[in-house]
Chain A
Amino acid sequence: MMVILRKELREHWLAFLVLTILTGGLFLLILLGYYTNPNGPGVHEAYRAYLGLSSLVSGLVLSHFLVSKEYSGKTQFFLESLPVGRYQVFAAKWFLGLAVLLAIQLGMFALTSAIALSREPIEMKFVGIALARTAAWLLFTHTCFFAYGLLGRYRLFCVFVVFTGLVAIDNASQLRLFEIGPFGLINPNRFAVERDALPLYDLGITAFWSLGALLISLAMMATREGSLASGLAVKMSYREKVFIAGVMVAVIFSISVLESREKPEPYTLVDAMAVTDDKVQVHMAETGLLNNSAPREFLNWLHAELAGVKDFLDMERLPPVFITVRRDLDPDKYELGYLKGKDGLLARVHYDPESWDREAFLAWLLPILLNKATYGRAALERNHWLLDGFAFFWSQGREEDMESTGPLMLRALYGTPEGITRTDLDQWLRFREQRGKSIAGSVAWSGLALLSRQYGADVLQNLLRRKLGQVPPVDARATVQEYRNALPTVFQELSGVGYDDFLSLWDRELRHHQRRMKESLSALPRLQGAVKLVQLSRDSHALEYKLVEALDDDTRIRFNHTRLAYDSNTITPDDVYSEDMNAGRLATWQRLPQGFRRGTLLAWSFTMRSEILKCDIGTGWQRMEVR
């Protein structure tokens, strides 16, 4: 066995070295991200992200060099002709692969834990649990990839089948395959969070699967007749390649086509008022009002507006809109319902004819509706400012332009104290999160208004039709179409001006108007807040918050906070909690009643209502980890 080990080391030392350098480089990059984001997740979370990716890469590389290469090069026949048992060869390769994998990954783990112990309040017990998770995951990936290597020419196909099968089972059942067992061990919501108990259940399942993969490897290795694996290692014939590629493409295509062709049934609201034609439908459930004339009028107006949008964007139809009334919602808050397998869009609103702001509702509804109609293409981040801008343009700003002093223009100027840049547009979701939807939408509106004034309403309309109104095919062609119709390309094509040139012009205009309206803008407050963690117990912290700069005592301020999932950076509006109080109280530290466990990811912001801007303004969302 030692002879084989020495041979493998001498043969593959360069591959092992390159693998170590590559994974080490990846680890350093992730570590860099950790150091440059002091409010981000802890270093063990960074390690988890690294582990998930690098263990897959390492498994593939090791299985190729230790297993597949031996079969594809037919050197296995030479080995088998020597007086050495197959099991000895197998054991040498298996243990060497595991040793290399463990040496690389556990080295990084040791470094991670050393950093964590010096910078974060963690205990050795947590390190031990994380180590058990890591080691078990590595054992699992190693055994799986070893079996994968023995599958020879069918290995990619088998992985495709297994992965597709797992996803299908996960979707069709309640098994939650990707949250338990081996995948549960490196689950982002658990790896760096569970600090007290060993995940014995997941470790057991992982051991079971690892044993299964090992037995499969042994069976394939032990099958003689030139071994099953060697038979499989023979390169695929052209016919076989075409067949298997055809099967894979057909499966993917069939799934996507079946999904897209599956016409969802229309959603039905019982006893609802409706204004419909075959292109646009709006329904409103029973409002509880004695007189339905106001809701009816609202529905007629909404139908007319949506029909106008459809014609303006040259769309064939819009998804039906269903509105239900929820008295417990704030009047200016709208909730999106989930219609599983049904056609349409369900909005929950607090409808009161007296205070109902239909333009604001339309501004909220339009981006969602267009996004749904275009299968998510309209909301791609680089196009998203057009979508937000159009919502405000259509609902409130068709008559205004940048020369106006109305709230839209004021908001746009308030949201761009340092002008507008290409980065702001390319990373629009981040920009919007920091400014708030109304401010960001108004900034986008200002761009559309400038575009209309400078190059003509036709150019604006055609641009919006191309980017928001075209319904793409529901398959890979959509990506190609998007690539060929990138916003800068379409912009240049329609206006004859470069996208960046337009952005410079837009930036200059905003700065010019900021000077023009300097006094109005300086009267608007800019919130600055701070938070701190107060330790309550070994693992529990309280969160305290306050305003950095004083405001009028009576000004109502909201402190918003939400927990973030480990695998998602998105702030979900429905999960946001707010503490509403006078600014006077916020001159001193205020404490949230609930405690937060160590490792919890949080996001927070301060907001207030600006009567001048007629929208919320705030600090923008900040993220942090409870340590």
Chain B
Amino acid sequence: MFLQPTENVSPTVSFLNPCRFKLNSTGGHGRTNLSRVRYSMTEASQKTETLSQPPRVLLRTRGLQKRFGNYEVLRGLDLCVREGSVYGFLGRNGAGKTTTIQILMGIQKSNQGVIDLFGRTAKRPNIAEKRRIGYVSQEQHFYPWMSCRYLGKFVSRFYPTWDQPWFLRLLHTFELPMDRKVINLSQGMKVKLALALALAHRPRILILDEPTSGLDPAARREFLDIVSHQAETEGRTTFFSSHIVEEVARIADHVGIIDRGKLCFQGRPDTLYAGIRGYRPQDPEVWREPARKQALVDRLKAQNLTLLAEEPRQSTLVLEGDSEAWSGVDSHTLTLEDIFLALTTKRIQLA
């Protein structure tokens, strides 16, 4: 087994990255602010992973920052993707998902921070590393004059591990006409072609940048099935970004939620479900009288539960706290979408 290079880093340095504080954390009791609660959640998750000897880290970013002029797209992003995992990178439009992936692929340059890829730390991947990555971009910009077969031939020259028979089999499986030119392919076909190209050289890690955007529901489901199947049968590490919660919930075993250039959660979905839950106050006056609501919030806060968001239409408060904090509270599980919205939409600031 591989050991993570930053195993002994203190958790106070980087509280969002589970890879960094897996053994020496204390559970986060007594912490009340949002980030600390989430820290404890990831920490708890990490505890579980450590006990079962977690696989090695294939991809990690440390303090990734990117600015376009005065606009800060990434504000110290710390990702960690382990071997064999399917990592759903969730964020709203403009949160910085594509920028992150383009930095990972060396298409853009970060202003600060580094990438650990296959054990090497650098600002951007080198050619040998890129040969071990399969990449599907958000929009497919293939040469329109190339046929599927010729495109494969062209791309194959860049990958020593290219498996031509498998590529042809993938084209066949994906029902892609080999001699049809790219210009005549539908959007869904282009995405499948991109996936075939990304898989044909048997990459160590598959990076997908919102691959299903622009696909109809049927094509989206078909695509996700293919990715999921690949991950299961080949054990291929997959890192994919999306703003569609449903597809992340469907296939990801790890989730990273990015909000305004910074991760607000990273870990297993069940950890997330356990840490962020819904609570329906018994007293309906809470929604009409601010003083009563404030009193309730204060009471919950005393129990180490923090209010993330409120859903008056569903008479629900979205609360965050570690597993012990929920004892005695009549809470219910939220969907990933509810949690995602609670984490990424405007926060409620209450004293």
Contacts and interface: CB of A to CB of B under 8 A. Distances in A.
A81 B137 contact: yes
A87 to B, nearest CB: 11
Q: Which residue, A7, A81, A85, has most C-beta atoms of chain B within 10 A?
A: A81
Interface of A: 3, 7, 11, 73-78, 80-85, 224-226
A80 B155 CA distance: 12
B130 A77 contact: no
B68 A225 contact: yes
B108 A81 contact: no
Nearest to B66: A225
Given A224-B109, A226-B102, A82 B141 contact: no
Nearest to A84: B158
Contacts of B166: none
Given A7-B154, A77-B141, A82-B158, 19 more contacts: A11-B143, A73-B141, A75-B141, A76-B141, A77-B137, A78-B140, A80-B105, A80-B107, A81-B105, A81-B107, A81-B137, A83-B127, A83-B130, A83-B131, A83-B159, A84-B127, A84-B158, A225-B109, A226-B108
A84 to B, nearest CB: 6
A84 B158 CA distance: 7
A520 B277 CA distance: 121
Q: How big is chain B's contact interface, by range? A: 20 to 34
Contacts of A83: 127-128, 130-131, 158-159
A75 B140 CA distance: 9
Contacts of B108: 224-226
A78 B154 contact: no
A219 to B, nearest CB: 14
A78 B142 contact: yes
Contacts, number: 52
4 closest cross-chain pairs (CB), A and B: A224-B109, A83-B130, A3-B157, A74-B141
Contacts of B158: 3, 82-84
6 contacts: A77-B139, A82-B158, A83-B127, A225-B68, A225-B109, A226-B102
B67 to A, nearest CB: 10
A74 B127 contact: no
Contacts of B139: 74, 77
Nearest to A7: B154
A11 B107 CA distance: 23
B239 interface: no
Given A73-B141, A224-B109, A81 B135 contact: yes
Interface in B114-163: 127-128, 130-131, 135, 137, 139-145, 154-155, 157-159
B contacts with A: majority SS: loop
Contacts of A81: 105, 107, 135, 137
B126 to A, nearest CB: 9
Given A83-B130, A83-B131, A75 B154 contact: no
A548 to B, nearest CB: 66
A84 B144 CA distance: 20
Contacts of B128: 83
A3 B154 contact: yes
Nearest to A222: B109
A75 B107 contact: no
Contact of A77 (B107, B127, B154, B155): B107
A80 to B, nearest CB: 5
A530 to B, nearest CB: 62
A79 to B, nearest CB: 9
Contacts of A3: 154, 157-158
B281 interface: no
A80 B145 CA distance: 18
Contacts of A82: 130, 155, 158
B132 to A, nearest CB: 9
Nearest to A230: B107
A3 B145 CA distance: 16
B27 interface: no
Contacts of B141: 73-78
Contacts of A7: 143, 154
A78 B143 contact: yes
A84 B107 CA distance: 11
A226 B66 CA distance: 12
B307 to A, nearest CB: 39
Interface string B270-298: 00000000000000000000000000000
A3 B146 CA distance: 14
Contacts of A78: 137, 140-143
A510 B240 CA distance: 91
B106 interface: yes
B127 A85 contact: yes
A225 B109 CA distance: 6
A74 B140 CA distance: 9
A299 B308 CA distance: 101
Counting chain B CB atoms within 10 Å of each CB, the highest count among A75, A82, A84, A224 belongs to A82
A167 to B, nearest CB: 35
Nearest to B132: A83
Contact of A11 (B142, B145, B155, B159): B145
Contacts of A84: 127, 158
Interface string B87-110: 000000000000000100111110
